[in-house]
Structure 1
Amino acid sequence: MNPSVPVTFALPTADRRTSFLFYGDGLGLDPIGEPAEDGVPEPLQFALNDGVRIMLIPTGGFGWITGDHEVAPRGHSECVISVSAGDESGVDEMVRRAEAAGGTVVTPPGRRPWGYAGAFADPDGHIWMISA
């Protein structure tokens, strides 16, 4: 594995425009690529940092990658994406922004046995834990 190549996490999405607005305008992530005819980059990717990207693939097209494995229905998660916000106020702000952009707070920010954290689900139900 070449550590200089970005790692990309692919998630299924029901609506490209909703995801584009949630992650871009709502969370403030930088989209990668030139907009397609619908104004949304194709493929729809965002940089989490210099080495990690998230790619949102329409649910129908996700099957081209997963073969005979079913895509989990909305509200069923097979993984939790965890990101550090640096400090408690960063956790509070990211969870607040996610909720304001149409996400759902899964666990409100607060003290946990492992530190300060909160979690939200994006419009497709993918869970993100933000920690300090």
Structure 2
Amino acid sequence: MKPKTVVLSLPVADLERSLRFYRDGLGLSTEGIDGGAILFELPNLSLFLIEREEYGTYTERAGVGTPGAAVPGACVISCAIGSKAEVDDTLARAVAAGGAVPKPAGTYDGSYMGYFTDADGHLWELVFNAQTQSAPTPE
């Protein structure tokens, strides 16, 4: 398998609330709600937030799990971040937008890391690693 892009689809309880959290709170760009979903194009990732009922049609089609059921923390969405300050700023913005920070950011295994959850309990991990940030990019 050689994927050309990665798409992540997450079920959400309230599209308007999710739109406010991700667009207004975190500053991600989107065209808004379209057909029961919100799309955010991130570097190397297309993030779809889909209303739980609509998400259920996908899981029913695939024959897996309870249609539309979201298990908070069932996946971790990780992002490489450019600085410690950006990690801290993003955590503050997440809280201001209605999310939660389960524990303070800190240094783990040489990386500065912080975690936040959105209003549906999806867990985001923000990672700043000074060693990989300063490494030369391969040509």
Q: TM-score range by the shorter chain?
A: 0.7 to 0.9
More strand per residue: 1
SS in 1 for 2:104: strand
The equivalent residue for 2:131 is none
Q: 2:48 corresponds to which residue?
A: 55
SS at match of 2:46: strand
Moved more, 64-73 or 90-99: 64-73
Query: Once the 2 structures are TM-superposed, how far is the Cα of residue 63 of structure 1 from its aligned partner?
Result: 1.1
Residue in 2 that maps onto 1:44: 38
Residue by residue over 1:2-58, the C-alpha shift from the partner in whole angstroms, topping out at 9 and shown as x without a partner, is 42xx32100000000000110001011111x4x5xxxx3443111222x21210011
Matching of residues 83-122 of structure 1 within 5 Å:
83-122=79-118
Matched, 1:26 2:25: yes
SS at match of 1:107: coil
Distance 1:65 1:114 in 2: 39
What is the alpha-carbon distance in structure 1 between the residues aligned to residue 6 and residue 46 of structure 2?
6
- What is the TM-score when the length of structure 1 is the normalising length? 0.84
* Percentage of pairs with the same residue: 36
Give secondary structure in 2 for the equivalent of 1:105.
coil
Larger radius of gyration: 2
Instruction: Map Cα deviations across residues 53-109 of structure 1 (whole Å, 9 max, x no partner).
Output: 210011111111112412234xx3211100011110110011111011000102221
Cα root mean square deviation, aligned:
1.5
- Please name the residue that 1:11 is paired with: 10
